[in-house]
Structure 1
């Protein structure tokens, strides 16, 4: 029999879930971690741990673009600015870096991040939309667009790629890096739990469907008029013991998926993921493992 304190704790948890359900329904978004834009998984509390966990993979992808010293590069959808230090190093003191993000608070965070670094390149950060870039034609030698196209529906993706091509000089490069949800798996657990979750969500247009679009990016760049398009898929793997940053990101992300799946009545054993701090959770298991896929597609304007 439950004690009075346990009953009260259960009721408080139920009330909290009800409040969150109401808030999510009002926002039309059950994924969580939104910025002021309302886009899921864009808040610094989730984005920064993700970058920290995946930094070696992410920076290797950026380095493969071939950014040269002295170039003017746009970070389109810069978030809180995690890629800006490496971009500044790549273009050097003779180069320039421009950064743009839809969320005003992210643009402010990105500018603040670079204020704490020695001057390595001229940098301008501003708020704005990729759907209508506030730059003249042919402004940039290269464009870097990471973890951003997942928030665009098909029509928006077509429009954004046209904008990225417009602001890149002839012969310049546009690189788009984003997630490939088909490679997400956790063990020890049903290895198809997360991919089945995405597939179920992808039955209707929206974020889940866009998370499964990554490996088609090369086709989208070709359709947008880019030439010499090349693409590679990156499998990011994390074995126990996971780093604190990986535990923080993947634990919170899986817990969010588990809550959403449970409320929607989706099949699968999601209970072990509900508490990201549970020492018995899959990610903290001695044989714990999680993988995530990313894709980078690079084309010439």
Structure 2
């Protein structure tokens, strides 16, 4: 799970995984909140269900999950970083949209590769922005765990970023694509961020049935909201540092190191940045052990 390149991305939790601290996870949610809600809608969750948020991070999805399962449902959540699990436990009680009644919620520290729950514990697993941290050997293990803890006929839904759809303008529209292709030449985080549109294949190989997948293009353009400007300023600075360290042209990347740089594309009146989010959903078969 932890590859050598994570430190370069910054914003690491106690797990050492890049871009997992609550402040940066919350910043991304704030920038893309409407798209996050749309992604969750694709999971097909039902009121009254018991849902596990696997790799819950700081708990940004928990209020939305609570809204969908309703007060008669139940929520469980697990995250590898103890500080994130603690934050998530507070969030589900304090931030339910509309001020409604929250369902019972249990938040724990734990590993998606070895979930601390018995077989058939849940009606569904929701896993968002987490499989990007699993290498090609770990991803099947996590999906096997999701299948194990979901009842036959229940749902496994996985959402993650597709870095192949990252575009920053004005300027070279392939600047971010070229960086990820360059970085993904060796196993690590960049490779895993380019694997996302194959999630439907991984779910099928895990034995899930009725697999469906949809990719959502998230676009931000000038004038950017403060939330979008904040998050993508952080994200592009992280990529720029790595691009320069790996020998990519300074002229293309140096302006991205500082969001306030006058030549940063996000400061342009024609600013545009996009990303892709993939949601893959499958059903645990009736004969599942």
The question of whether the paired residues in 1 share the 8 Å contact of 2:5 and 2:188 is answered with no
Would you say 1:140 and 2:132 are equivalent positions? no
More contact order relative to length (CA 8 Å, sep ≥ 6): 2
Distance 1:273 1:42 in 2: 21
Partner residue in 2 for 1:80: 58
Measured after TM superposition, the shift of residue 286 of structure 1 is: 0.3
The question of whether the paired residues in 1 share the 8 Å contact of 2:66 and 2:92 is answered with no
Partner residue in 2 for 1:8: none
Distance 1:99 1:277 in 2: 38
The question of whether the paired residues in 2 share the 8 Å contact of 1:27 and 1:38 is answered with no
Distance 1:28 1:287, change over 3 A: closer
Count matched residues. Answer: 277
Once superposed, what is the RMSD of the aligned Cα atoms? 1.5
Residue of 251, 255, 258 corresponding to 1:272: 255
The question of whether the paired residues in 2 share the 8 Å contact of 1:241 and 1:284 is answered with no
The question of whether the paired residues in 2 share the 8 Å contact of 1:78 and 1:101 is answered with yes
Partner residue in 1 for 2:242: 260
Distance 2:4 2:17 in 1: 14
Deviation readout 1:154-193 (Å, 9 max, x if unpaired): 1100100000000000000000000111110100121111
Partner residue in 1 for 2:211: 229
Would you say 1:286 and 2:269 are equivalent positions? yes
Q: TM-score, normalised by structure 2?
A: 0.93
The question of whether the paired residues in 1 share the 8 Å contact of 2:42 and 2:279 is answered with no
Partner residue in 1 for 2:169: 187
1:230-245 to 2 correspondences below 5 Å: 230-245=212-227
Measured after TM superposition, the shift of residue 28 of structure 1 is: 6.3
Distance 1:233 1:28, change over 3 A: closer
Measured after TM superposition, the shift of residue 280 of structure 1 is: 4.1
Distance 2:61 2:71 in 1: 17
Distance 1:145 1:26, change over 3 A: closer
The question of whether the paired residues in 2 share the 8 Å contact of 1:240 and 1:288 is answered with yes
Distance 2:275 2:194 in 1: 12
Measured after TM superposition, the shift of residue 267 of structure 1 is: 3.4
Q: TM-score, normalised by structure 1?
A: 0.89
The question of whether the paired residues in 1 share the 8 Å contact of 2:5 and 2:189 is answered with no
Would you say 1:215 and 2:193 are equivalent positions? no
Distance 2:192 2:178 in 1: 14
Measured after TM superposition, the shift of residue 277 of structure 1 is: 2.4
Higher radius of gyration, 1 or 2 = 1
Distance 1:28 1:241 in 2: 32
Distance 1:26 1:201 in 2: 12
Deviation readout 1:3-32 (Å, 9 max, x if unpaired): xxxxxxxxxxxxxxxxxxxxxx99862111
